[in-house]
Amino acid sequence: MKNLKAQFKIIIYLFLLLNISSITLAKNIDKFSDSRNISNYFSGILSIHDNQYEKSYFYLKPLNNLEDSHYNYSQYYHYSLIALNKFKEATNYSKKLENKKLDNFESNLISAVYYLKNKDLKRAVLYSKKAANKSQPNSIQNLISTSLNSWLNLQDITDLNTALNTLDVIPERFQNIKNIQNFFAYCHYDSASVDEMFKKLTFNPDIDYSRYYFFYSNYLFSKNNKIKAGKILDSSIVQYPRNLMLKQLKVDIEKKNIFKNNFNCKNITNIIAEIFFISSNAAASQNNYITSNFYISLAKYLNSNFISYETRYAENFFNIQEYKEAKKIYKKIKKNGSVYSWYASQKVASIFIKQGQKRNALNILKKSFEEIINPTTYEIFDYAEFLKNNERYEESIRYYSKILNLIDPEDTLYAQVMNGRGVAYERTNQWKKAEIDLLNALKARPDDAYVINYLAYSWIEKGINIEKSLKMLKKANKLRPNDGYIIDSLGWTLFKLKNYQEAKKYLEVAIRYMAADPVVNDHYADALWMNNKSLQARYYWNYVLKLEKTEEKLKKEIKKKLLFGLKS
């Protein structure tokens, strides 16, 4: 990721240098006559692409009136202002662009949102229309602006059918979002058919609509229909045991707390905020975190009491390795109930692991886990997995075993727990126990490619069941055809069966997926040697010695190979 960022910075720098040079030669931008301004603009754009908004604001703010000649400046400056929650300043800047007839989609959208938040609906409608006019047809921009405009126009509409016709302006390619909007409309108008609409929305099993179980349960509780709301909530948690919103709602109800996630479908502002959240998710799925942060910031502004939006925001910074900012947001999330606290602690622990601070990670998660009064099986499982993944195998075994005393083989967690404990047993040289657990995991989930791979590879390393392992790994490879670990295992099995030519083919593919993995490179080098390509084999063995992740035991083995080669 860091190398990609460095390469991207070089590309941006060259682009700007060429662009600014041509502009300066044309004498179109007086602001760029000062080298300090060129540096500020360059630094501001790089900061935006690193999602470092304090820095980008610092660099871009002094470049007043640069928008006259450089369209991108206003867009980047707006991104900085919104991310820093400077909505008044952003709206004033939008007004400045409008006066200069330089307004764009972002400036009009910001104005619409600002006036909506401040209950100036007349202006909000005006700017939502202008934003729609500035958007590209069939784009996310068009979806957002037309949706915003439609919901604003519902203010004076009293019947559901007219409202549904008003909302029916979204392009057909966004059918899922149309269904979501219709559900919110039924909810907003207290329709007797809201239950039917909810079932229609969540009918497709291929789409995760767990979020909307929360909205529906929340709506039913607001209508004092507690029995039905409780049933919907309980069944949805069984179906989606990882959904933070549902789990926290359950805890809040049991403890008679004020709901941590404040959402009211009677409030159009809340619904529009959710449209921004959907758009933010769409942008994040395409790794466009600048746009995602822009939309999630608008959502947070419209509904600041909805903690779910903070999780999206934190996840964005986590994904781009801006860990300082991510930790700051997770610290805020922790204050919103036990479910969110445990989630945030896991994420912060993950950050410490990535930063090479394993002790801090272990301490923070241990403390957080001990603070949970009655941990669920999923919370125990999370902790056991964390311990296993950080080589605390004996401790993890205790927690896996605890879960197995609480669940039966039909439980959705059973196979995962068996697999996790099996791995921990194998790593602590308790093979008989490991083999039993892995076989039980496979019995519960016959098509789990990763369990198949781990068990088969373990047999191969022990020199047993090799023919059976080959069949299993061929199945795993069909289930997960692009997984480097499985391809490596399949190639290594063929190697053990002395089918060196075929083994080389698979291991060569595995290298493409896992170029920096020491074991895969070692396997490939062995295959090269046995295919009479000793020079290439030595190259790869030497390469493994240079890799940071290569363990000492493997290094010793490779040094022997470099001296004596392999025996057939």
CA distance 487 to 505: 10
**pLDDT higher than threshold 90 for residue 363:** yes
Give residue-wise pLDDT tens across range 103-126. Answer: 999 999 999 999 999 999 999 999
| 21 vs 64: CA distance, rounded Å | 20
Residue 507 has pLDDT above 50, yes or no: yes
What mean pLDDT is predicted for residues 96-109?
96
pLDDT band at residue 170, thresholds of 50, 70 and 90? confident
Write out the two tokens for 352.
Answer: 């410490």
- Indicate whether 27 pLDDT > 70: no
Least confident of 61-65, 123-127, 321-325, 539-543: 61-65
Pull the structure tokens for residue 117: 């938040």
Q: What is the pLDDT of residue 26?
A: 41
For the stretch 416-469, pLDDT in tens is 999 999 999 999 999 999 999 999 999 999 999 999 999 999 999 999 999 999
Q: Where does the pLDDT of residue 64 fall: very low under 50, low under 70, confident under 90, or very high at 90 and above?
A: confident
**Rounded Cα gap, residues 38 and 32, in angstroms:** 6
pLDDT score recorded for residue 528: 97
Q: What is the pLDDT of residues 47-58, one digit of tens each?
A: 998 889 999 999
pLDDT digits (tens, 9 = 90+) for 387-417: 999 999 999 999 999 999 999 999 999 999 9
pLDDT at residue number 10: 47
Neighbouring-strand partners of residue 463: none
Q: For position 206, what pLDDT does the model report?
A: 80
Report percent pLDDT > 70 for the chain: 93
* Band of pLDDT at residue 14, cut at 50, 70 and 90: very low
Backbone torsion region of residue 264, taken as left when φ is above 0, otherwise alpha when ψ lies between -120 and 50, otherwise beta: beta
> Can you list the alpha helix ranges (DSSP code H) found in 192-307?
194-201, 210-222, 226-239, 244-254, 268-285, 289-302
Element (H or E) spanning 37, and its range? helix 35-49
Residue 41 has pLDDT above 80, yes or no: yes
Percent of all residues in the chain with a pLDDT value above 90, rounded to a whole number: 82
Mean pLDDT of 32-49: 78
Overall average pLDDT of the 239-264 stretch? 88
pLDDT at residue 39, as a whole number: 82
DSSP state of 259: P
Determine the distance from the C-alpha atom of residue 398 to the mean position of all C-alpha atoms in its chain, rounded to a whole number. Answer: 30
pLDDT at 25: 36
> Cβ atoms within 10 A of the Cβ of 265, count?
22
pTM given for the model? 0.87
Confidence tier at 288 by pLDDT (50, 70, 90): very high
* pLDDT band at residue 34 under the 50/70/90 scheme: low
DSSP state of 381: H
The 10s digit of each residue's pLDDT in 188-217 is 999 999 999 999 999 888 888 999 999 999
Q: Judge whether residue 253 has pLDDT over 80.
A: yes
Give pLDDT, residue 111: 97
pLDDT at site 5: 53
3-state secondary structure of 342: helix
**31 pLDDT more than 80:** no
